Structure 1
Amino acid sequence: MTKSAYVALVTCFNEDETINFEATRAQVRRQIAAGNNILCAGTNGDFTALTFEEKVRLTEEVVDEVGGQVKVIVNAGMPATFETLKLAREFDRIGVDGIAVITPFFIACTQEGLIRHFTTVADAVKTPIYLYDIPARTQNHIEPETARILADHGNIAGIKDSGGSQETLAAYMAVGREVEGFDVYSGPDHLVLWSMENGAAGCISGLGNVLPDVLAGIVNAYNSGDLDEARRCQEIYTNFRTDLYALGFPPALVKRSLYLMDNSVGASRQPALLPNREQDGKILDILKKYGRA
Structure 2
Amino acid sequence: MTKQAFVALVTCFNEDETVNYQATRAQVRRQVEAGNNIMCAGTNGDFSALTFEEKVRLTEEVVDEVGGRVRVIVNAGMPATFETLKLAREFDRIGVTGIAVITPFFIACTQDGLIRHFSTVADAVTTPVYLYDIPARTQNHIEPETARTLAGHGNIAGIKDSGGARETLEAYLQVAKEVDGFEVYSGPDHLVLWALQNGAAGCISGLGNAMPQVLADLLKAYNVGDIAQAEKQQATFAAFRTDLYALGFAPAMVKRALYLQDSSVGASRQPALLPNAEQDEKIAGILRRYGLL
Give the alignment's TM-score, normalised by structure 1. Answer: 1.00
Q: Which residue of 2 aligns with 1:268?
A: 268
Alignment of 1:31 with 2:69, yes or no, is no
Q: Which runs of 5+ in 2 are unaligned?
A: none
Match of 1:174 in 2: 174
1:115-169 deviation per Cα after TM superposition (whole angstroms, max 9, x unaligned): 0000000000000000000000000000000000000000000000000000000
Q: Distance in 1 between matches of 2:189 and 2:234?
A: 9
- Alpha-carbon distance, 1:231 to partner: 0.2
Q: Any idea what the Cα deviations from partners look like across 1:206-264, whole Å, max 9, x if unmatched?
A: 00001100000111000000000000000000000000001111001100000000000
Alignment deviations for residues 10-55 of structure 1 (CA, whole Å, 9 cap, x no partner): 0000000000000000000000000000001000000000000000
What is the CA–CA distance in structure 2 between the aligned matches of 1:292 and 1:185, rounded to whole Å?
26
Match of 1:124 in 2: 124
Q: Any idea what SS the aligned residue of 1:204 has?
A: strand
Per the alignment, residue 112 of structure 2 pairs with: 112
User: In the TM superposition, what whole-angstrom CA distance separates every residue of 1:185-219 from its partner, at most 9, and x where no partner exists?
Assistant: 00000000000000000000000001100000111
Runs of 4+ in 1 over 3 A off after TM superposition: none
Unpaired runs of at least 5, structure 1: none
Written as runs of structure 1 = structure 2, the 5 A alignment for 1:65-80 is: 65-80=65-80
The reply on whether 1:150 has 2:111 as its aligned counterpart is no
* Matched residue, 2:224: 224
Alignment-derived partner of residue 64 in structure 1: 64
What CA distance in whole angstroms lies between the structure 2 residues aligned with 1:121 and 1:91? 12
Q: Aligned residues, how many? A: 293
Partner of 1:91: 91
Query: What value does the CA root-mean-square deviation take over the aligned residues?
Result: 0.3
Q: Which amino acid aligns with 1:6?
A: F
**What is the rounded CA distance, in whole Å, between the counterparts of 2:250 and 2:182 in structure 1?**
28
Match of 1:162 in 2: 162
Q: Which amino acid aligns with 1:86?
A: K
Q: Separation in 1 of the partners of 2:10 and 2:25?
A: 10
| Structure 1 residue matching 2:136: 3-state secondary structure | helix
Q: Which residue of 1 aligns with 2:191?
A: 191
| SS of residue paired to 2:288 | helix
Task: Report the Cα distance in structure 1 between the residues aligned to 2:199 and 2:170, rounded to whole angstroms.
Answer: 9
Look up the match of 1:285: 285
Distance 2:2 2:280 in 1: 38
Q: Which amino acid aligns with 2:218?
A: I
Paired position in structure 1 for 2:249: 249
Q: How far does residue 273 in structure 1 lie from its aligned partner after superposition?
A: 1.6
TM-score normalised according to structure 2 size: 1.00
Q: State the identity as a percent.
A: 79
